[in-house]
Amino acid sequence: MKACLANLITTRIRQDVQSMHAYAIQESTGLVKLDAMENPHRLPAALQAHLGQRLGALALNRYPDGRINDLREALAEYAGMPEGFDIMLGNGSDELISLLAMACDVPGASILAPLPGFVMYGMSAQLQGLKFIGVPLSPDFELDEAAMLAAIAEHQPSIIYIAYPNNPTANLWDDVVIDRIIAAAPGLVVMDEAYQPFASRSYITRLAQEPGRYGHVLLMRTMSKFGLAGVRLGYMMGPKALIAEIDKVRPPYNISVLNYECALFALEHADVFAEQAQDIRAQRTLLVDALQALPDVKTWKSDANMVLIRVANAAKTFEGMRSCGVLVKNVSKMHPLLADCLRLTVGTADENKQMLAALKKSL
């Protein structure tokens, strides 16, 4: 049976898939979990009980129904969706990124993104059999405008991803440079605003003001960083006709009844999540100040709920922190520009204190 299975795999599973690694999720049991940019706050107890009642009353025997449109409307209103735009929902923005690659899979199509960046952009291209062009950032993690424009001219990409702010570098890039990239783009540009709750700027107002200039731009967001990473709900807004085409590749019922009821509930209590985001931004300021006071740590400024640092030996510090009970992300192997870098998620005041103590002990 073993030999038989091996044969089945080598002959029937795509060769490039066989040589891939699955998306790695770190084991976090018993650790202070600061590795995945989650909101550290749970729903207040009263809201947990209220949501429990709502979920208990759902007709789980039925497929998701028209209530999904209530969620689309609520999200559009919450985000301030521009006129003439429509909204598409994904099982996390991860799914939207995959669906975009599928919808844009014309012969010779390519996807371009600055690197280091979010891994799903490259992975979606690879899985769909599209070419991926990664354009290195400058050593201080700014966009290399000349390199971006040259790569766009050479490869004529179908999709350009601009993460705003970027993961894992946590910074917002210069809008003037982004605008020149948008102007040069022959295909779609996706502004990925996953970290919008913590960012000082958004592109949404610009899209509304100048539809002529941004007619090929899509804006992607997620409820994950809002405080619902466990729910899995991403959304993408863009010109109606464009969203209508991309939405055709979405699997039916991709958003479960539980997903949309939780998301609707969260939007009804958006003030609670806004307060949590406010606390996270305040904790980020304290964390960055404390990190900057450490002589052996290089700390970059952040517009997200993560902070990138460089230490003398990332592997040693990561392991040291883990043995102190704190899990962060060692991103140093992701890209040469990230040598000896760790990505720290901003947690609660108490979690950040534990993280700082573990870091100091492990440098």
261 binds ligand PMP (CB under 6 A): no
In this structure, how many other beta carbons lie within 10 angstroms of the beta carbon of residue 78?
14
Q: How far is the CB of 90 from ligand PMP (least distance, A)?
A: 7
**Stretches 23-31, 90-98, 126-134, 273-281: which one binds ligand PMP (CB under 6 A)?**
90-98
In degrees and rounded to multiples of 5, residue 85 shows phi and psi of -100, 160
Do strands 306-310 and 341-345 pair parallel, antiparallel, or not at all (unpaired)?
antiparallel
- Residues in region 181-240 near ligand PMP by CB under 6 A: 192, 194, 222, 224, 229, 234
Contact predicate 318/310, CB 8 Å? no
Contact predicate 159/152, CB 8 Å? no
93 binds ligand PMP (CB under 6 A): yes
Question: If you write DSSP's letter for every residue of 223-284 in order, what string do you get?
Answer: SIIIIITTT--EEEEEEHHHHHHHGGGSPTT-S-HHHHHHHHHHHHTHHHHHHHHHHHHHHH
Listed in order, strand segments (DSSP E) in the chain are: 32-33, 85-90, 110-115, 131-136, 159-163, 188-192, 217-222, 234-239, 298-299, 306-310, 326-327, 329-330, 341-345
Question: Applying CB under 6 A, which of residues 163, 191, 199, 263 lies at the interface with ligand PMP?
Answer: 163
Print the binding letters for residues 110-149 with ligand PMP: x by CB under 6 A, - otherwise. --------x-------------------------------
Of 222 and 259, CB closest to ligand PMP? 222
Question: Applying CB under 6 A, which of residues 167, 256, 259, 362 lies at the interface with ligand PMP?
Answer: 167
332 binds ligand PMP (CB under 6 A): no
Q: How far is the CB of 220 from ligand PMP (least distance, A)?
A: 7
State the residue number with the nearest CB to ligand PMP: 92
Question: Applying CB under 6 A, which of residues 34, 37, 246, 280 lies at the interface with ligand PMP?
Answer: 37
List interacting residues with ligand PMP (CB under 6 A).
Answer: 37, 92-94, 118, 163, 167, 192, 194, 222, 224, 229, 234
